[in-house]
Amino acid sequence: MDYGKAFTFVFDDEEWVQKIVIGGILSLIPIVNLIVLGYGLKVLKNVADGEEKPLPKWDDFADYFVQGLVSFLGGLIWAAPLIVVGILSSVIGWTTGYEPHSGQSAWYYSGQACIGGLNCLSALYGLFMAVVLPAARTKYAIHNEFGAFFRFGEIFKYITANLANYVIALLLIWVARFIAGFGLILCCVGVLFTGFWAILVSNHLLGQVYRASETPSLEPAD
């Protein structure tokens, strides 16, 4: 794998400026920005397929939107436990009160203990989802099937079979997002383009992991 290439491949494209500008502008528009998510998945697929220049043209907005919408819905279903726990915490907080009152302190502190436990569960599941969801999205990008998001056995097998590359890719994705944050120095204008760049880097890395998983290693001849 060429991890460094993920950070620079955008600039190998002759039309990279206009492609980044379009992506950055679309990222600003609610709902329409699902197109950007779909575009990123196309980058992932192109890298997995070994395309020399994986940055696609902005020529199929409808397809990118559908891909992005399906990916968003898949992620939303994965996040359902977090949503349920968040609602449950709010209900417990509301029913037990936010401050102890005379004669109700035990009820209040019991509620707070429950909320604390639920928050711990949320944190653990959030970490789990952050690790697993990129693999689920990779499977969807490759197979273009909504069900690919929930083939848990395949997803976990894919992660464990490519653990080293996958973990490094996730770490570098977080690095790219950290770098993208420096776009704040240029106010919203900078974030427009560095944020979109980080999406492209992330998908390039995930595409490389998949391609490496499909490329048989060369064993030395006996």
Chain centroid to CA 142: 15
Report how far residue 39's alpha carbon sits from residue 37's, in angstroms, rounded to the nearest whole number: 5
The letter for the amino acid at 84 is: V
Enter the DSSP assignment of 13.
S
Q: What is the mean pLDDT of residues 44-71?
A: 94
Report how far residue 143's alpha carbon sits from residue 152's, in angstroms, rounded to the nearest whole number: 15
Place of tokens 């909504």: 146
Average pLDDT value over all residues in the chain: 86
- For the stretch 139-178, pLDDT in tens is 999 999 999 999 999 999 999 999 999 999 999 999 998 8
Residue 149 neighbours by CB distance under 10 Å:
21
Which phi and psi (to 5°) does residue 31 adopt? 70, -50
Report how far residue 113's alpha carbon sits from residue 199's, in angstroms, rounded to the nearest whole number: 38
Enter the DSSP assignment of 100.
-
Report how far residue 75's alpha carbon sits from residue 69's, in angstroms, rounded to the nearest whole number: 10
Place of tokens 């575009």: 39
Report how far residue 220's alpha carbon sits from residue 160's, in angstroms, rounded to the nearest whole number: 24
Decide if pLDDT at 182 tops 90.
no
HSE-CB of 158 using CA atoms within 13 angstroms? 27
The letter for the amino acid at 169 is: A
Report how far residue 55's alpha carbon sits from residue 57's, in angstroms, rounded to the nearest whole number: 7
Spatial contact of 46 and 207, defined as CB atoms under 8 Å apart: yes
- For the stretch 109-145, pLDDT in tens is 777 788 888 889 999 999 999 999 999 999 999 999 9
Tokens read off for 99: 């401050």
Report how far residue 108's alpha carbon sits from residue 111's, in angstroms, rounded to the nearest whole number: 5
